[in-house]
């Protein structure tokens, strides 16, 4: 039998949003997702998940979550567009560096960024020195450096990225990247939420786990093909959701992990 892989699902705090942000069908108001002039009863808290994959050749961290700086004055730490529609919340011991230290993890072979929105990379500066390489797709880095949306370029101004080109043909657009060249951790091109969004397909011993990144907020997203209020490309988002739904129905699927699914609790998957 092949060496087992271990996937740690970690919550690095929460994000408080209007319920129309992850699911646009929750309101007829096209601007409801901003939360402006909306009743507080419409606010919900969603986890900000990141993932530590223990692979025989090295540890891989997928996304970084909130920086410890949001525990203080998050309005001082972030520009308005970083918290206008999504308030950051980070409790004691919940930052990624605190959790890695608790697990005894001092070194990462890779940090993989599924996309570069603030809640997925805010702690990059705090954890980047743990890693040998920081992977982000060329498509995503180009889009992020052009600015706009929830991209905050100041968060990566001192980061050296390892941009990758697709070397495989998996996924809805037949574009993938085999991280260790052994078929176990594959980055999958999932455009729609952002121009270069990436999912992570983890395969071992005939089974798999899939991390959706920004392509889906929760299980409801792919089961009902529900779009969020903000998408870069509606048609591409739907195509990716259909791909995720197909994966979820496979007999050898252990779990589909969406980064903001309130039903997903911190746990460890070993297979």
Q: Quick one: which H or E segment has residue 26?
A: none
The order of strands in the sheet holding 253-257 is 176-178, 185-189, 198-204, 207-211, 253-257
211, 114 Cβ separation under 8 angstroms: yes
Do the beta carbons of residue 176 and residue 186 sit within 8 Å?
yes
Tokens at 45, concatenated: 């808290």
The phi-psi region of residue 120 (left if phi > 0; otherwise alpha if psi is between -120 and 50; otherwise beta) is alpha
pTM for the predicted model, two decimal places: 0.96
- Domain residue extents for the chain: 6-270
pLDDT at 27: 87
Q: pLDDT for 222-261, tens place per residue?
A: 999 999 988 899 999 999 999 999 999 999 999 999 999 9
Per-residue CA distances from 246 to 158, 171, 175, 212 (Å): 39, 11, 17, 13
| Structure-token pair, residue 49 | 């998940």
Read off the pLDDT band of 2 (50, 70, 90).
low
Percent of the chain with pLDDT over 70: 99
Mean pLDDT, rounded, of the chain: 95
Does domain 6-270 fall into CATH 3.40.50.1000? Answer: no
Q: pLDDT tens digits for 66-117?
A: 999 999 899 999 999 999 889 999 999 999 999 999 999 999 999 999 999 9
The per-residue b/e assignment along 73-94, b for 16 or more CB within 10 angstroms, e otherwise, is: ebeebbeeebbebbbbbbeeeb
pLDDT tens per residue, range 22-64: 999 888 888 888 888 899 899 999 999 999 999 999 999 999 9
Question: How far is residue 269's CA from residue 235's CA, in Å, rounded to a whole number?
Answer: 32
Q: Does pLDDT of 1 surpass 50?
A: no
Q: Is the dihedral of CA 228, 232, 238, 242 positive or negative?
A: negative
């Amino acid at each position: 039998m092949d060496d087992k892989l271990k996937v740690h699902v970690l919550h690095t705090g929460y994000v408080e949003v209007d319920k129309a942000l992850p699911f646009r069908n929750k309101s007829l108001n096209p601007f409801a997702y901003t939360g402006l002039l909306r009743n507080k009863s419409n606010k919900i808290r969603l986890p900000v998940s990141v993932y530590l994959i223990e692979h025989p050749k090295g540890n891989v961290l997928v996304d970084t979550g909130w920086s410890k700086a949001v525990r203080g004055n998050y309005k001082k730490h972030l520009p308005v567009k970083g918290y206008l529609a999504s308030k950051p919340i980070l409790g004691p011991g919940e930052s990624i560096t605190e959790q890695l230290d608790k697990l005894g993890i001092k070194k990462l072979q890779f940090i993989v960024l599924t996309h570069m929105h603030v809640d997925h990379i805010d702690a990059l500066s705090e954890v980047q020195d743990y890693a040998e390489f920081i992977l982000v797709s060329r498509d995503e880095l180009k889009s992020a450096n052009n600015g706009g949306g929830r991209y905050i370029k100041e968060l990566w101004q001192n980061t050296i990225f390892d941009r990758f080109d697709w070397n495989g043909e998996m996924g809805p657009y037949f574009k993938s990247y085999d991280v260790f060249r052994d078929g176990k951790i594959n980055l999958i091109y999932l455009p729609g939420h952002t121009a270069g969004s990436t999912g992570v397909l983890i395969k071992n011993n005939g089974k798999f786990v899939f991390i959706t990144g920004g392509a889906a907020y929760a299980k409801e997203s792919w089961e009902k093909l529900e779009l969020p209020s903000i998408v870069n490309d509606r048609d591409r988002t739907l195509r990716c959701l259909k791909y995720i739904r197909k994966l979820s129905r496979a007999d050898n699927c252990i779990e589909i992990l969406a980064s903001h699914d309130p039903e997903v609790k911190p746990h460890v998957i070993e297979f």
